[in-house]
Amino acid sequence: MSPGTHFFMSWIIAAKTTDNSRDCGLVTLAGVLPDLDGLGIIPDAINRALGHRETVYYEHYHHFLLHGLFGGVLIAVLMACFSQHRWRVLLLAFLVFHLHLLCDIVGSRGPDPDDLWPIFYDGPFNKNWMWLWKGQWRLDSWFNEILSVVLLVWALRISVRQGWSFITMLNRRWDEKFVAVLRQWSAAWKARRA
C-alpha cells in the first residue's frame, strides 16, 4: 500500500494506544519507515532522466532491506530509544511494522497481474524465506484509494476528539491551528444536522 495509507493506519493505532504525542509519532513512524528501502527509486529516476546508465536500486532493494525481521527489530528498538514509555512503544512499533508488511502483501501489486511484490522476511541477509500472495490487488486500486480516504477521515475525527492530530509530528503550533479549524468544521456540521 502507499506510504500515506501506512501513515494514517499507523497513526490511528498509535493515537488510540499511546498517551502522549511523542510516543504516538514514534509508533506512527514505525509503520512508515520500512519504505525507506524504496528510496532507490530516486537515483533510478535521476539516472534515467539524465541519460546515465540505468540502475535498478528500487527493484532490488525495496521490500528487501527493511521489510524483514531485521528491519522490524531495528525500527522498533530505535523508536523505543526515543520514547517516554519504552516497552509500550517497542511492542506497538513492532506491531505496526508487521501491519505494514501485511498491507504490502495484500495491496502492493504493480499494473501487471504478475507484478507481485514479495516480502523477504529474512532480508537483507538472504532471499530464501519469501511471503507472497497471488491475490494481491494493485497499489493504485480503487480499494486502496477508498481505504486511504476512510483512514484519513477516521484520523480527522480522532483529532477533533483528542485535541491534537498527526500534524503535531511536524509542528505543534500548526497542529493547534489545524485542530481548531477541524473543531469549527465539526461544530458547524453538527449544528446543520441538528
What is the chain's pLDDT, residue by residue, as a tens digit (194 residues)?
A: 888 999 999 999 999 999 999 999 999 999 999 999 999 999 999 999 999 999 999 888 888 899 999 999 999 999 999 999 999 999 999 999 999 999 999 988 888 878 888 899 998 998 888 888 888 888 888 889 999 999 999 999 999 999 999 999 999 999 999 999 999 999 999 888 87
CA separation (Å) from 156 to 1, 24, 39, 98, 170?
A: 20, 15, 28, 24, 16
Residue with grid cell 546515465, as numbered in its chain: 52
- C-alpha to C-alpha distance for 83 and 119, rounded to whole angstroms: 28
Segments forming the whole domain that contains residue 128 = 3-193
What are the helix and strand counts (H, E) for the chain?
Answer: 8, 2
Those residues with Cβ within 8 angstroms of residue 94's Cβ, 6 or more apart along the chain or in another chain: 30, 72, 73, 76
Exposed e or buried b per residue across 183-194, where buried means at least 16 C-beta atoms within 10 angstroms of its C-beta: eeebeeeeeeee
Residue-level pLDDT at 17: 97
- The confidence score (pLDDT) of residue 19 equals 92
State the amino acid at position 7 in one-letter form: F
Question: Taking the model in full, what pTM does it have?
Answer: 0.90
Q: What is the DSSP string of 144-168?
A: HHHHHHHHHHHHHHHHHHHS--GGG
Q: What is the pLDDT of residue 165?
A: 94
**Total domain count, the chain:** 1
